[in-house]
Amino acid sequence: MARHPRITFIGAGSTVFMKNIVGDVLQRPSLSNATIALMDINPQRLEESAIVVNKLIATLGVKAKAETYSDQKKALAGADFVVVAFQIGGYEPCTVTDFEVPKKYGLRQTIADTLGVGGIMRGLRTVPHLWKICEDMLAVCPEAIMLQYVNPMAINTWAISEKYPSIKQVGLCHSVQGTAMELAHDLDIPYEEIRYRSAGINHMAFYLKFEHRLADGTYRNLYPDLVRAYREGRAPKPGWNPRCPNKVRYEMLTRLGYFVTESSEHFAEYTPYFIKEGRPDLIEKFGIPLDEYPKRCIEQIERWKGQAEAYRSADRIEVEQSKEYASSIMNSVWTGEPSVIYGNVRNNGCITSLPDNCATEVPCLVDASGIQPTFIGELPPQLTALIRTNINVQELTVQALMTENREHIYHAAMMDPHTAAELDLDQIWSLVDELLAAHGDWLPAWARGSAKVRAA
């Protein structure tokens, strides 16, 4: 009898995200008989997620089955695919701490989940839990592929490949395809007619090509059109969030010659140019949404209360295809039908101008042999230089985790472009001390408390 795939969700209480992935999976014939193993430490969220999955199965009329677990290792046993989506420390207390403590020093952030002091702290909280999943996978499903959707993506992917190189993993984000859709919309071109190639690191990859397929089968470079639309005020068009106009990335396009794949609100805090104490004119000009992530968290928490109730009472849950890569990867591995996705993987020479051991985001071929990154070569020098400023922070955070050397936490903050542009060395040391103390038990034991790194 043919074996059916076993798909385990760690952090299955992220119900809306889990619903999107499971909805995609169950609509693929090769995966529609899958066993969906849901694991979460929050029993209420786990129960809500199980209700959603069972209603999806019923709505689609497929033979999949759902199982729930509070024990991670049991959930992972025999898995073919492991989808990871959790947030250590949640909105409260950890996200609040990541924003409020830096604010006392005049250091403002927008999202704080990838880079900067917020991203460093999130990495320190998150990586030990990802490593625990890797340990359990090696014990009970060593051949499974980990599809990792957790931020800070680059730090996480790098840290996993450093400590558990045999784990098959890919970090997944929807920024590449999501931004391509936004730009097509800005230019009034159907997304299906766009061809692009992107490479870099997570949240700082760039479209090396962005083209329109013409009726005669030839392709036209769209970069001149994007610059013209920005200069003439026709782009960016209003997006899903009125607080976040997309001006930062368009401005950077005019300076670098390439468009970056992650949002303007993110990009504003990865660089030293846009958020500056005493420069409200910049915030105004580029529409930079300070404290954006906490606002989203509050809105999501509020929205979920109504959503959970609606799912509980609904007879059917309608499913639309999402733009996530997970089901495409599973289908290609399971059936051998090839697909191309953008994945975060160990660089291993894919981008020759970046370090071999860093985590890069590149096009990957997926088939029965798994996820195979493609060769890019050198990036344009201005892109390499900007990306390296972010890699410095990621590398030092990973070094701190690997060596349990607390000094590298301070070094990572020191190298952060936005932090370094705003604070002096004493302020950076003091801020890191305060953040480590405030996070307390959410951090690994070696990282807690305060440290005097400077020689007496």
Q: Which residues are catalytic?
A: 174
Report the alpha-carbon distance of residue 122 to residue 129 in Å, rounded. 11
* Alpha carbon 372 to chain centroid, angstroms: 20
* Packing angle of the helix pair 15-26, 326-335 (nearest 10 deg): 40
- What is the DSSP pairing of strand 65-69 with strand 35-39? parallel
* C-alpha distances out from residue 299 to 273, 292, 360, 439, Å: 29, 11, 32, 24
Short-list 70, 71, 41, CA closest to 140: 71
Identify the residue whose tokens are 């129960």: 47
The CA R_g of the chain, rounded to the nearest whole Å, is: 22
CA-to-CA separations, 275 to 100, 281, 382, 421, in angstroms, rounded: 16, 10, 21, 9
Q: How far apart are CA 259 and CA 401, in angstroms?
A: 32
Please answer whether residues 358 and 391 qualify as being in contact, where contact means their C-beta atoms are separated by less than 8 angstroms.
yes
Measured CA to CA, the distance from residue 233 to residue 224 in angstroms comes to 14
